[in-house]
């Protein structure tokens, strides 16, 4: 009798496979140099423990290291790891934990830091309340850092795939022309600034509100009585990096997949994807993102929506 493969998908789609597994084990059997992008948001070391068992800040680097080694091995030489990791406060103090800097310095033993991005969420609540709204000695913490790490110094990337619409003043300038002049910053604004490149090069500040509580995933989960993941990506965040760092048909992996927003975005953009999530309820509900998904033999069997 042929040997049963160790990991069997919980569901599959045209381009992707979702697994209910511990990614520490799963990643070991992914071939070397096979993945273009690992786009992920691991559990954050939060002050209050969330449902999915977050790791304390002082243990975080050691906890993450085995994942980092496997991710490095499976990335193609031009591949990237984008890590979405929020900062945290030291318990009981109005000071910040340095864990994410310690993590990045450790990761730099394996990866290059290609660039850091800041996801500004204007709808963030004013927390921690003790310092922000009661003592009023800190301001709202509304930025999450996304660390773009690469296996080599030249990761595949093309900012022409993520251009923003031009501002009204830039549109005017393109239409009416510009008087060649030296700017106060001493930059000489030459005629190349007048070329229409189809959009503006985006900055590394992604301003995206996290207010969408009304998407089809939520409706379908509610209708099917399935657990809604409490810490989902806003689609625009993984979408930006999938578009920027990968091409059609390349492979995107999320080893901490949660509600599998990364898989959904990859599917919509024509990229292959693999998602790994160790909480059975989250895997089951993530299938609600894919009305055409085919249930697999892997645990858990998701209920129909």
Ligand X SMILES: C[S@@+](CC[C@H](N)C(=O)[O-])C[C@H]1O[C@@H](n2cnc3c(N)ncnc32)[C@H](O)[C@@H]1O
| DSSP state, residue 96 | B
Nearest to 118, CA basis, from 139, 143, 99: 143
> Would strands 205-207 and 112-120 be described as parallel, antiparallel, or unpaired?
parallel
304: Cα within 13 Å, side-chain hemisphere: 1
Provide, rounded to whole angstroms, the least separation between the CB of residue 185 and ligand X: 38
User: How many whole angstroms separate alpha carbon 25 and alpha carbon 10?
Assistant: 16
User: How many whole angstroms separate alpha carbon 148 and alpha carbon 165?
Assistant: 24
Provide, rounded to whole angstroms, the least separation between the CB of residue 196 and ligand X: 35
The residue from 75, 278, 284, 288 that contacts ligand X (CB under 6 A) is 278
**Does 258 contact ligand X by CB under 6 A?**
yes
Token readout for 65 is: 């290291």
**Does 22 contact ligand X by CB under 6 A?**
yes
**Does 128 contact ligand X by CB under 6 A?**
no
**Does 43 contact ligand X by CB under 6 A?**
yes
In the 3-class helix/strand/coil scheme, how is 21-80 assigned residue by residue?
CCHHHHHHHCCCCCEEEEEECCCCCCCCCCCCCCCCHHHHHHHHHHHHHHHHHHEEEEEE
**Residue 196 known to be catalytic:** no
**Does 23 contact ligand X by CB under 6 A?**
yes
**Residue 42 known to be catalytic:** yes
Binding mask 191-230 for ligand X (x = CB under 6 A): --------------------------------------x-
Q: Is 246 or 279 the residue whose CB approaches ligand X more closely?
A: 279
Token readout for 54 is: 């977050």
- Interacting stretch for ligand X, rule CB under 6 A, among 8-16, 40-48, 137-145, 212-220? 40-48
The residue from 85, 114, 252, 261 that contacts ligand X (CB under 6 A) is 261
**Does 277 contact ligand X by CB under 6 A?**
yes
- Active-site residue, selected from the candidate residues 10, 45, 80, 84: 84
Point out the residue whose Cβ comes nearest to ligand X.
258
Burial 219-229 (b: 16+ CB within 10 A, else e): ebbeeeebebb
- Active-site residue, selected from the candidate residues 23, 36, 41, 286: 41
**Residue 122 known to be catalytic:** no
- Write out the catalytic residue numbers: 41-42, 84
Residues of the shown chain interacting with ligand X in the complex, contacts defined by CB under 6 A: 22-24, 41-43, 52, 229, 231-233, 255-256, 258-259, 261, 276-279, 282
């Amino acid at each position: 009798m042929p040997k049963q493969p160790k990991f069997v998908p919980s569901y599959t789609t045209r381009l992707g496979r979702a697994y209910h597994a511990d990614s520490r084990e799963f990643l070991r059997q992914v071939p070397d140099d096979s993945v273009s992008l690992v786009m992920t948001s691991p559990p954050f070391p939060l002050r209050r423990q969330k449902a999915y068992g977050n790791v304390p800040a002082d243990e975080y680097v050691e906890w993450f290291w085995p994942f980092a080694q496997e991710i490095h091995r499976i990335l193609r030489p031009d591949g990237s790891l984008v890590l979405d990791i929020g900062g945290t406060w030291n318990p009981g103090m109005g000071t910040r934990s340095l864990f994410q800097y310690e993590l990045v310095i450790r990761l730099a033993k394996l990866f290059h830091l290609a660039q850091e991005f800041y996801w500004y969420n204007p709808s963030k609540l004013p927390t921690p309340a003790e310092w922000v709204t009661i003592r009023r000695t800190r301001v709202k913490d509304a930025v999450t850092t996304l660390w773009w790490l690469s296996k080599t110094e030249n990761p595949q990337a093309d900012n022409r795939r993520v251009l923003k619409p031009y501002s009204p003043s830039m549109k005017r300038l393109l239409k009416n022309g510009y008087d060649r002049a030296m700017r106060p910053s001493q930059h000489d604004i030459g005629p190349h600034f007048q070329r229409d490149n189809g959009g503006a090069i985006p900055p590394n500040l992604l301003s995206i509100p996290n207010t969408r509580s009304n998407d089809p995933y939520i409706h379908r989960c509610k209708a099917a009585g399935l657990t809604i993941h409490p810490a989902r990506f806003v689609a625009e965040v993984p979408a930006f990096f999938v578009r920027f760092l990968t091409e059609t048909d390349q492979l995107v992996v999320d080893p901490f997949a949660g509600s599998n927003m990364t898989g959904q975005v990859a599917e919509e953009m024509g990229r292959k994807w693999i998602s790994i999530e160790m909480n059975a309820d989250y895997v089951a509900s993530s299938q609600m993102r894919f009305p055409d998904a085919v249930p697999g033999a892997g645990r858990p069997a998701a209920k129909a929506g």
